[in-house]
Amino acid sequence: EELGYDAVWLPDHLLPPAEYGPVYGGAHEPLVTLAAVAAVTGRIRLGTSVLVLPLRDPFLVAKQTATLERLAPGRVVLGVGAGWEAAEFAALGADFTGRGARTDDALRLIRHLHTVGRGPFEETRYAFRTGVFAPIPTAPVPVMVGGVSDAALRRAARFGDIWQSVGLPPETFRTRLAALRAHTSRRIEAGARLSWPGARRAADVAAEARAFAAAGAGHVAVWFGPLDGFDDRMTAFARTAGLGG
């Protein structure tokens, strides 16, 4: 926040088949950690990039995100994805092939709980007749859909307030953004993720971020690699990119 960054994004894997790190992200549970971040910041957005929604109880996710939004009004983004690691689904006893449909139903449920706050709610996978949900967030928590597949773009067009790509160069990002825009006329913020574990110059990473902006990205999230040197890279990028902190 002091360096001028606008958001903190935390990843999510519950039981990956290998060690946490470049592939599976950090080990700390993201929503709990974002609550701690909320307590020591006052401006930045607090988001997940992304929560593997079909591996979680959507009633609990709705409760957690609504609570977090009440602690940090207007700053919370629920970033979700359908997941990609089949071994993780198998370890948790979750159906991998039906994860997309389960994600869509979970998003419908979460939006209902955040706006209506009570039953009835009827969907194929999640339904309840009676019950009161609280707290209601001060405003519905924005949903960010992550991923670059056709299914992810359709999900973003249908449910998302934000879309975020991962693993794409700027020109491919431009193409996928055009595909997203073809699915909907709604205004959806577009963003991109890039990685800088330390092998390149800060000026080159800042140039890549500017290329994403030129391709239509409204935000660029940077993963700064291992903890060793993380602070230095984060500071160097902020200064080189002119974040104004």
CA 142 to CA 66: how far, in whole Å? 11
Intra-chain end-to-end CA distance of the chain, in Å: 7
DSSP, residue by residue, 139-153: SPPPEEEE--SHHHH
Residue 62: burial class (beta carbons within 10 Å; 0-12, 13-18, 19+): buried
Q: How far is CA 213 from the centre of its chain?
A: 18
CA 3 to CA 197: how far, in whole Å? 19
Grouping H, G, I as helix, E, B as strand and the rest as coil, residue 37 is helix
* Active-site annotation holder among 1, 2, 13, 171: 13
Residue 169: burial class (beta carbons within 10 Å; 0-12, 13-18, 19+): middle
* Active-site annotation holder among 85, 88, 114, 219: 85
**Whether 13 is catalytic:** yes
Asked if 54 contacts 37 with a C-beta cutoff of 8 angstroms, the reply is no
Radius of gyration of the chain (CA): 18
CA 142 to CA 145: how far, in whole Å? 10
**Whether 85 is catalytic:** yes
Catalytic residues: 13, 85
